[in-house]
Amino acid sequence: MMMEFTTWDILRNLLLAARWTVLLSLVSFVGGSLVGLAILFMRIGKNVWLKRFAQGYIELFQGTPLLMQLFLAFFGLGLVGVDVPAWLAAALALTLWTAAFLAEIWRGCVEAIVRGQWEASSSLAMGYVQQMRYVILPQALKIAVPPTVGFSVQVVKGTALTSIIGFVELSKAGTMVTNATFQPFIVYGFVALIYFALCWPLSKSSQILERKLNVAHRNH
């Protein structure tokens, strides 16, 4: 039986599914930031074992395709008897993946702070935590904002992969709507437009932030 789909039907279904893309992006980004922060502190801290762990973590997640990480989270956990729904596997894998990249971006920002800042604060008798808290991180945070916002675009695009393990977000909805309407060009055209509408403001604001920070070097 053939049903007639109006353009509006198509768009409405896609927009409804896009909510899940947005939600998954937000969860992964926030979760990834928190985990990434923990990884960052292990990576730049003084404990050798934590450092190695963080380094291994980053290399592992940067050195394997996100798709494999999704498969492992979805099927792997299933193998050991943990039954994970697709949304959970998707959120978990994306969070861990985001954390690895953010930790590495932020490490670059912390290390971009010149040695003189460490030495000056040391010579004022500050301890490591105080130096971090009051001298290094405030400066690192500022330079971290543009690349972090820029990376959020990658997270949004990364959510598209979760369609493969069956999570119904924008891409998956696109496939489903196409199967029902046989209008792949229109459907995927809309899908692409919606992704663009999500990503473009992010990358644009990253650019603007970068330019702003280059003009005004201070933050208060």
Partner 1 sequence: MSLIEITEVRKSFGTNEVLKGINIDVDPGEVIAIIGKSGSGKSTLLRCINGLETIDSGSIAVAGAQLLPDELHLRALRLKIGMIFQSFNLFPHLTAGKNVMLSQMVVKKVPTADAEATARKMLDRVGLAHKFDAYPEELSGGQQQRVAIARALAMQPMALLCDEITSALDPELVNEVLAVVKELAAEGMTLLMVTHEMRFARDVCTRVVFMHQGRVHEIGAPQDVFGDPKTPELKQFLGLQAA
Q: Which residues contact partner 1 by CB under 8 A?
A: 116-117, 119-128, 130, 133-135, 138-139, 142, 217-220
Considering beta carbons, is residue 113 or 176 the nearer one to partner 1? 113
Shortest Å distance, C-beta 110 to partner 1: 14
Considering beta carbons, is residue 5 or 118 the nearer one to partner 1? 118
Considering beta carbons, is residue 75 or 134 the nearer one to partner 1? 134
Query: What dihedral do alpha carbons 3, 4, 10, 11 form, nearest 10°?
Result: -150
Shortest Å distance, C-beta 48 to partner 1: 17
Shortest Å distance, C-beta 117 to partner 1: 6
Considering beta carbons, is residue 180 or 209 the nearer one to partner 1? 209
**∠ CA 197-201-206 to the nearest 5 degrees?**
150
**61 close to 105: Cβ distance less than 8 angstroms:** no
Q: Which residue has the tokens 């291994």?
A: 56
Of 149, 148, 198, the C-alpha closest to 169 is: 198
Two structure tokens written together for 176? 């489903």
